[in-house]
């Protein structure tokens, strides 16, 4: 299928007219009175079981509870566009080439032999979940995660976006030095036809060493409502030109410095909008894109570590019921950390220090050599263990925390092959110590690109899911109290504007105000899988395997 380009509406790569979508569909049917299949929806009634705790006279009083929810999932996916801020960067050019390669089922030669296009590294496309147990053989039945609910297929995404560099994507792909030459040759024609839209460039927020790339920018070096309206028009034009049902916007551009949180400037939605109109200098480019996306009702995901979602931006998203998610792709070193620290603390080992060192030579490393931009990354990398430490008061007293140092150095020679060295130092039995050292060489953009697709696919799915509480929605499992409470049936609602279900793919997960942040990798994946299972009326996998233990 040949892609098309439209210079007035940003680079685009999509389906030919009349081509049916290859969006994934469920490969099973749930036989339950709690699940019904309509012409265009899956409807499920689900009982969510939790435990309420209260401290009474110095002793915990534990009360199991059940809450009933109805979920409704639209099964028609439609045609979906992905607009990347930073389209011409390492990640943008790599993910675009990857979609083209998979769509055309390309094969190419490497020094290690032939390779085929795949979506390895995508939890949605390349991992499986346990559906249940075969009633005949007793064996587990596992299916691809994307088969749980109808989801857009990456091959069907129409890709476009913005960049401060005006290079076409073929030239940008060469500049990135990520892909094999033989693969680049196979997609060069399509990539050369794709040119990013002009982006916004506020030098105070971006490392000075990025200035030589900024040849494709809108006029103006501070926030202004004209920039918001220009981005909104770009979104509408892209959607119209490609006959899209919806668009997802994702920031994979420069790491910005942290924005100062200022009363009267970015603390409320109204103040933020007024500050933009007043050309206030403390409004970041990423926040401008987020505001434009929110006002267009388009999901916006931040893949960099800066604080794009200042309080006013978050409030604006809630006001417009628009989805946002962030922050910072979790691909290599931090993903290992969020798995290993969870393992060590759950094993009863008292982790006392974590030393993380990185060096890399791509443009991400170049911009992080600027101290103010590095500080954004340092924050997102350093907070990843906080919830795991706070959950174990046997090992850690109030206020106690492992020492945690993060170092990133720019070394051009290693290119996109990032070197990550970690040392974990822990106290063990009777004053002993354990040291675990890891050396992780990861091709940065080839790990990050599948995460971009995961974020887009999951965010799109949640635009089609609604929930409500039916009349009888709360049951107390304590037999000494009433079995049910009658409540008025609620209207159908979307999930909260902050899509915390995206946390598995992000270093510093954004959560709704007042809700806990979960960084432990296994918990994040379970949350994603179990919410999807709830939408088809299936229980979470409890791993008790009583069917094998009791008989």
Q: Say how many C-beta atoms besides its own lie within 10 A of residue 232's C-beta.
A: 17
**Cβ 290 vs Cβ 313: under 8 Å:** yes
Instruction: Spell out the residues 6+ positions from residue 401 whose beta carbon is closer than 8 angstroms to its own.
Output: 386, 389
Query: Annotated catalytic residue: which of 239, 246, 350, 507?
Result: 507
Cα–Cα distance, 373 to 258 (Å, whole number): 8
377 assigned to active site:
yes
The residues facing 475 across adjacent strands are 66
| Catalytic residue from among 328, 364, 444, 454 | 328
The whole-angstrom separation of Cα 402 and Cα 405 is 10
**3 state DSSP class of 17:** coil
337 is catalytic: no
Over the range 455-488, which residues count as b (16 or more CB within 10 Å of their CB) and which as e? bbbbbbbbbbbbbebeeebebbeeeeeeeeeeee
Radius of gyration of the chain (CA): 24
Tell me the C-alpha distance between 531 and 537, whole Å.
10
Among the options 350, 418, 422, 444, which is catalytic?
418
Instruction: Please tell me the distance from the alpha carbon of residue 96 to that of residue 93, in angstroms, as a whole number.
Output: 5
The residue annotated as part of the active site, out of 184, 239, 377, 533, is 377
Q: Is 487 a catalytic residue?
A: no
CA atoms lying within 13 Å on the CB side of residue 359: 6
Told to judge if 507 belongs to the known catalytic residues of this protein, a careful annotator would answer: yes
**52: buried, middle or exposed (CB in 10 Å: 19+, 13-18, 0-12)?**
exposed
Pairing status of strand 433-443 against strand 465-468: unpaired
* Residue indicated by tokens 């994934």: 24
- Give me the active site residues, please: 328, 377, 418, 507
């Amino acid at each position: 299928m040949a892609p098309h380009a439209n210079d007035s509406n940003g680079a685009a790569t999509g389906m030919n007219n009349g081509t049916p979508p290859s969006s994934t569909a469920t490969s099973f049917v749930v036989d339950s009175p709690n699940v019904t299949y309509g012409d265009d929806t899956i409807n499920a009634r689900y009982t969510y079981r939790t435990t309420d705790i209260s401290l009474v006279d110095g002793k915990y009083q534990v009360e199991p509870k059940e809450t009933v929810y109805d979920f409704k999932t639209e099964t028609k996916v439609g045609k979906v566009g992905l607009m990347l801020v930073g389209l011409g960067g390492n990640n943008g050019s790599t993910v675009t080439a990857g979609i083209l390669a998979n769509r055309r089922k390309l094969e190419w030669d490497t020094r290690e032999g032939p390779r085929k296009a795949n979506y390895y590294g995508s939890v949605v496309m390349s991992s499986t979940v346990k559906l249940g147990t075969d009633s005949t053989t007793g064996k587990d039945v596992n299916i691809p995660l994307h088969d749980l609910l109808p989801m857009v297929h990456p091959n069907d995404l129409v890709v476009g976006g913005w960049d401060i560099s005006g290079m076409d994507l073929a030239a940008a792909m060469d500049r990135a030095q990520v892909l094999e030459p033989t693969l680049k040759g196979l997609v060069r024609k399509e990539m050369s036809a794709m040119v990013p839209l002009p982006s916004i460039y506020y030098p105070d927020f971006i490392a000075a060493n990025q200035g030589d790339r900024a040849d494709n920018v809108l006029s103006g070096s501070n926030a202004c409502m004209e920039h918001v309206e220009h981005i909104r028009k770009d979104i509408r034009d892209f959607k119209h030109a490609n006959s899209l049902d919806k668009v997802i916007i994702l920031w994979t551009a420069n790491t910005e410095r942290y924005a100062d949180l200022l009363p009267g400037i970015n603390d409320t939605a109204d103040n933020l909008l007024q500050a933009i109109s007043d050309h206030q200098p403390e409004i970041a480019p990423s926040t401008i894109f987020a505001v434009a996306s929110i006002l267009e009702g388009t999901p916006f995901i931040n893949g960099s570590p800066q604080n794009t979602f200042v309080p006013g931006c978050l409030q604006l998203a809630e006001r417009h019921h628009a989805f946002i998610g962030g922050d910072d792709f979790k691909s290599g070193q931090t993903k290992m950390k969020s798995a290993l620290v969870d393992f060590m603390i759950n094993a009863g080992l008292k982790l006392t220090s974590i030393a993380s060192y990185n060096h890399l030579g791509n443009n991400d490393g170049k911009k992080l050599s600027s101290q103010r931009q590095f500080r954004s990354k340092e924050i997102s990398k350093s907070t990843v263990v906080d919830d795991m430490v706070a959950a174990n008061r046997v090992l850690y007293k109030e206020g106690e925390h492992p020492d945690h140092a993060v170092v990133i150095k720019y070394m051009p020679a290693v290119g996109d092959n990032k070197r990550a060295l970690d040392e974990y130092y822990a106290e063990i039995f009777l004053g002993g110590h354990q040291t675990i050292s890891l050396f992780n060489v990861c091709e940065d953009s080839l790990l990050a690109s599948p995460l971009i697709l995961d974020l887009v696919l999951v965010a799109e799915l949640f635009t089609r899911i609604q929930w409500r509480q039916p009349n009888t929605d709360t049951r107390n499992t304590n037999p000494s109290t009433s079995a049910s409470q009658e409540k008025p049936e609620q209207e159908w609602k979307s999930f909260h504007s902050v899509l915390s279900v995206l946390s598995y793919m992000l270093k510093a997960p954004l959560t709704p105000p007042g809700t806990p942040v979960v960084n432990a990798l296994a918990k994040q994946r379970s949350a994603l899988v179990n919410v999807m299972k709830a939408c088809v009326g299936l229980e979470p996998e409890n791993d008790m395997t009583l069917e094998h233990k009791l008989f």
